Amino acid sequence: MPFNVAEFNAELNASGFARPSHFEAWILAGPLSNGFNSFNNILNQYGLSDGMRFRIESVNLPGRNLITLDQNYYGPTRALPYRAAQQPVTMSVILSSDMREREVFMKWQDFMIGHYRSTYDGNRYRGMFDSRYYDDGIGTIAIVQYGLPVNGNLLEFAAASFGLGDFVKYLSENAVAHNTIYLEEAYPISVNDIQMSWADDGYARMNVEIRYRYSTETNQTFGDNIQSQLSSTNSLL
């Protein structure tokens, strides 16, 4: 079949393009202390009650690998999937002048491995090198991907030839959250080093690697909850 430029453009314009810059991520819940979400108190203490969603400048949407078991009965080997392995999520965080964002993630780790990094009040804690309970150190992180509705508005916008300011206004008024991913039982397994240099007069950023047990997703285009949609139909299984 010969290549048709009109069909190619129609196919791409029908659903538009995902923009890597149209996202936000924030911390919904963090470590507990005596049954209370004391991590929210830490965020409030540092003026980050919005979950740092205005400080997380980049994040990777999580991937997934299938773990397989080889079946060797006869002929070529079959690889049978039996479990999924979640890939870690790395986020880049813009740092304030006092690097309070670094302190937040370091304190999060303190909830899991003990408070030997700092006693905060100058006193030594009893059992300061003791690790804490897993359930008391985990939290939830949300990643939302935004875009324009897939209903022809993209073509209308392209034809209008708006400027940058008009584009921002148009996006803010028409954007929808297409995908929302929740990282459950999440915690920062790695708070990476921060490169400081006299030759760099920009702003400092910090990379944090997030581990989590599993993720849940919602998709506005194809249904409110992907998992419930799959469980209610056999057409995709």
Contacts of 109 (CB under 8 A, 6+ apart): 187, 188, 191
Entry pTM: 0.76
* Least confident stretch, 3-12, 13-22, 50-59, 165-174: 165-174
* pLDDT tens-digit series, residues 166-199: 655 665 566 778 889 999 999 999 999 998 889 9
Contacts of 162 (CB under 8 A, 6+ apart): 170
* pLDDT tens-digit series, residues 107-147: 888 888 877 676 556 666 667 778 888 888 899 999 998 87
Number of domains composing the chain: 1
Q: Is residue 48 one of the residues assigned to a domain?
A: yes
Q: Is residue 23 one of the residues assigned to a domain?
A: no
Indicate the SS3 state at residue 201: coil
Q: Is residue 7 one of the residues assigned to a domain?
A: no
Q: Is residue 68 one of the residues assigned to a domain?
A: no
pLDDT for the residue 167: 55
- The one-letter code for the residue type at 139 is G
What is the CA 237 to chain-centroid distance, rounded? 27
Q: Is residue 78 one of the residues assigned to a domain?
A: no
| Number of residues that this document lists for the chain | 237
Query: Which range of residues forms the domain containing residue 179?
Result: 31-61+85-231
* Least confident stretch, 27-31, 57-61, 187-191: 27-31
Q: Is residue 3 one of the residues assigned to a domain?
A: no
Task: Name the average pLDDT for the chain.
Answer: 78
Instruction: Inform me whether the pLDDT recorded for 24 exceeds 50.
Output: yes
Q: Are 125 and 115 in contact (CB under 8 A)?
A: yes
Q: Is residue 21 one of the residues assigned to a domain?
A: no
pLDDT for the residue 171: 59
Q: Are 55 and 48 in contact (CB under 8 A)?
A: yes
DSSP letter, residue 75: S
CATH of the domain at 191: 2.30.110
Q: Is residue 12 one of the residues assigned to a domain?
A: no
